[in-house]
Chain A
Amino acid sequence: DAGITQSPRHKVTETGTPVTLRCHQTENHRYMYWYRQDPGHGLRLIHYSYGVKDTDKGEVSDGYSVSRSKTEDFLLTLESATSSQTSVYFCAIRPGQQMVNYGYTFGSGTRLTVV
């Protein structure tokens, strides 16, 4: 969708290496999220941000860290990639809480393979 982009779209990396995924939005939304999607598990929340430098853990945060130094950018870092982190990663944004009838907008995803 227009307004949110993820990079890279695909990445293959070796076990033990650090990896950073980027999410960029042009909507000036306060809330940003990182999800991972795996067969049989649906989408699971990794970390989220409710403002610049305000982040918190989600359901599956172990092995991941995030940073948000600007409203438009939300970075997800795998400090030392493992094969269990092979997945498709989606970033999402949503309007502020006053716009409660709007859904989340997802990026196109990053397919990460750890070998």
Chain B
Amino acid sequence: GQQVMQIPQYQHVQEGEDFTTYCNSSTTLSNIQWYKQRPGGHPVFLIQLVKSGEVKKQKRLTFQFGEAKKNSSLHITATQTTDVGTYFCAWVDYGGSQGNLIFGKGTKLSVKP
């Protein structure tokens, strides 16, 4: 099935620095979702993007969906220690598989105070 590749696998930043994680697909995606998982926690839905070139913001987080709908990014401005966790992109396959969520492997963010 369609896979989404996510980079980097790990990112260590100083508090106040910016952070970006990228999600790439070899084929066009109908949608992309982003989730955050805190250490020891469960994935929590952040946002869904469906339109070519779409940009959405949530406070310090900016989400983009590429023009060709083959890539997406999550950018965090001025990271805080509360941003620590693993960020996953995921794609919902609304085709024959009844809307299953296919995850990238995630980017683990650590923030040094």
Contact = CB atoms under 8 A, between A and B. Distances in A.
Interface stretch (B67-75, B76-84, B101-109): B101-109
Contacts of A90: 42-43
A1 B43 CA distance: 10
Contacts of A50: 98
Contacts of B104: 42
Contacts of B106: 42
Contacts of A59: 1
Interface bin, chain A: 20 to 34
A92 to B, nearest CB: 7
A42 B103 contact: yes
Contacts of A100: 31, 48, 50, 94
Interface residues of B, number: 25
Nearest to B98: A50
Contacts, number: 61
Contact of A31 (B41, B46, B99): B99
A22 interface: no
Interface string B87-107: 010000010011111111110
B48 to A, nearest CB: 6
A8 B88 CA distance: 25
A90 B44 CA distance: 12
A84 interface: no
- Closest 7 A-B residue pairs measured CB to CB? A103-B45, A42-B105, A106-B42, A43-B103, A50-B98, A42-B103, A106-B43
